[in-house]
Amino acid sequence: MRRFVKIGGKFFLSAEKTLRDSLGNSKMTTLEHDFIEFALKARVLRFGEFKTKAGRLSPYFFNAGLFNTGSLLDRLGAFYAKKILEKRESGELQFDMLFGPAYKGIPLVASIAINLSRLGLDLPWAFNRKEKKDHGEGGTIIGSPLTGRVLIVDDVISAGTSIRESIAIIRDNGAIPAGVAIALDRMEKGGNAEEVTETSAVQDVEKTFSIPVVSIANLTNLLEFLKSGSDAAQEFTSHTEAVTAYRNRYGA
């Protein structure tokens, strides 16, 4: 059924319907499409030639540190919140509180908690400090005490070091790591430019700790976006071949 919205007394075909038509048989959701568009407009997601920590030359780069204004951080938190609620309602995620590892996870966890509360889910949240404080409230955990099932929120998983440290912190405080939510899953095998492992860092975390890792969007969604034919994608379609070649070589 075709959906219409009323604007100024006139009816127009809804943007969501138009988008779904342009996506055709794509499995990408409107949320995933809109997040990629948002990241591109904010210049957080860029195309070009970038050297990764693994020494690979990547045709795209995602730098969540560039969500660096109040409005950008708030909207980023809204995307996280919607994806987290979607996974909670499907049963894929079950958790009692949120944890953001220092340092990038700190503004993320605050924004996500605020946006979840706007959507009717008011949860406790916490973050850690890198150096233990021996005065005032002391300790390394700020915010709510770590209890119950804890969802870790971070920007990406590269080597997985931050997530492993977070899991250790959660367990040391008697709580249970329940899952991880990230912004973008590169779906990229580990290793370096020449030697490639069989699995990605995300897959390693899921297998090692038996917890789910969910992302707002992933590399598959990025390629679907580039091929979607939507107005937002037109400017970037020339990068499709390079991203596809990179995935063929390093994709998990």
The DSSP code sequence of 157-171 is: -SSSHHHHHHHHHHH
pLDDT at 151: 99
pLDDT at 27: 83
Sheet holding 125-133, edge to edge: 139-143, 125-133, 97-100, 149-153, 176-185, 213-218
Token match 């591109």: residue? 40
Pairing outcome for strands 189-191 and 10-13? unpaired
Which is catalytic among the residues 41, 51, 133, 207? 133
pLDDT at 139: 78
Domains and CATH numbers, the chain: 28-250 (3.40.50.2020)
Which is catalytic among the residues 27, 130, 132, 135? 135
pLDDT at 159: 83
pLDDT tens, per residue, the chain with 252 residues:
444 433 334 443 433 443 444 444 568 999 999 999 999 999 999 999 999 988 999 999 999 999 999 999 999 999 999 999 999 999 999 999 999 999 999 999 999 999 999 999 999 999 998 876 665 555 799 999 999 999 999 999 988 899 999 999 999 999 999 999 999 999 999 988 889 999 999 999 999 999 999 999 999 999 999 999 999 999 999 999 999 999 999 999
Answer whether 143's CB lies under 8 Å from 126's CB: yes
Nearest alpha-carbon partner for 37 in 242, 251, 246, 231 = 231
Answer whether 237's CB lies under 8 Å from 226's CB: yes
- Reply yes or no on whether 239 is catalytic: no
Q: Is the pTM of this model over 0.85?
A: yes
pLDDT at 110: 99
Q: Which two tokens stand for residue 216?
A: 């707002």
- Reply yes or no on whether 33 is catalytic: no
pLDDT at 26: 62
